[in-house]
Amino acid sequence: MSSWNEHSGRFTHAAGDSVRRVFLFAGQRSSLPTRILVLALVLAFFTIGLIILIPFLAIAAAIVGLLWVSAKIRGVFGRARAPGGALDQRRNVRVIRRDTRP
């Protein structure tokens, strides 16, 4: 026997009620122990999610921080080695402009 009900155009379970109506009834008429159990399950999943998520966020923040510090250090040394910088070893060099004609 198919679970498709031609009369109502819905899927039904063995007792003939629509599955949607059964779920709505169960959701609206839930008892206090059921509500407590659902709340406990939601809190458990939320807690487990945070336990897993927080270390990943800490690792990601550490990686971003290290990349930022390394970029700053490379920037400082890059400017020092730039022409005219503190580590530029050329002294008293005259620049020859190639675009001007004598």
Domain-wise residue ranges, the chain: 46-96
Backbone angles phi, psi at 60, to 5 degrees: -65, -40
Strands (E), 14-95: none
Report the amino acid identity of residue 6. Answer: E
pLDDT range class, residue 6, cuts 50, 70, 90: low
**Residue 88's pLDDT is what?**
65
pLDDT tens column, 49-96:
899 999 999 999 999 999 999 999 888 777 666 666 666 666 666 777
Report the amino acid identity of residue 93. Answer: V
**Residue 38's pLDDT is what?**
76
Does the pTM exceed 0.85? no
pLDDT tens column, 20-47:
665 666 667 678 887 788 788 888 988 9
